[in-house]
Copies of this chain bind each other. A is one copy, B any other.
């Protein structure tokens, strides 16, 4: 395993609660990188972060909760929207999806996030608990960002029965595919291409909630 100490974040502003959160998330990433998912526990995270185990359980409930929050921090750092007002709203789905894909680029350029994803994917292929945590974290991000698509539905830009989360998945999939499988470049041309492809497919009624695409 690599040494995770270089992954610790810069000092963040805020009071004791914010400092504790930062310390716990840094400790979680370092434990994951150094010891893998299977060996990471709430107790070891608390010890490494120098906070009481009860504090960690109170705030995050379980390991999945801490890892979810870690993924949120990566997204916040990359400027990926995670709340209603912070979403781009250009009035055009393709433009909004391009902004989202651009934020993916920032996340994937972030060493700590890449390391986190590598650890989680490697664990997920053989550990159902890790698989469940990874898919829960990703599902939560997809749910949040699908607001972009629901707005396009409200505007009438795409059919009312568009599967908003499926549109986001189609934007995300080529990034993960390149990162985990083909090792091909992840760049702004890719972001433009997937945003255009997903927006076209949504407008053409291909990404609707029914099981089969419409006749053409």
Residues on A facing B (Cβ under 8 Å): 94, 118-119, 121-122, 124-126, 131-132, 134-135, 138-139, 142, 166, 169-170, 172-174, 176-177, 180-184, 189, 192-193, 196-198, 200-201, 204, 206-207, 211-213, 216
Q: How far is the CA of A118 from the CA of B121 in the complex (A)?
A: 9
10 further interface pairs, Cβ-Cβ under 8 Å (given A122-B122, A122-B125, A189-B211): A121-B122, A121-B125, A124-B181, A135-B181, A135-B183, A169-B184, A180-B180, A193-B206, A197-B201, A201-B201
| A172→B180 contact, CB < 8 A | no
| A182→B139 contact, CB < 8 A | yes
* A124 surroundings in chain B (CB, below 8 A): 180-181, 183
Which of A119, A142, A169 has the most CB atoms of chain B within a 10 A radius of its CB?
A: A169
Q: Which are the 6 A-B pairs with shortest beta-carbon distances?
A: A173-B177, A118-B125, A197-B201, A173-B173, A189-B211, A135-B183
Q: Which of B118, B132, B138, B170 meets A174, CB within 8 Å?
A: B170
Q: Which of B169, B181, B206, B213 meets A121, CB within 8 Å?
A: B181
| B180→A135 contact, CB < 8 A | no
| A206→B212 contact, CB < 8 A | no
| A182→B213 contact, CB < 8 A | no
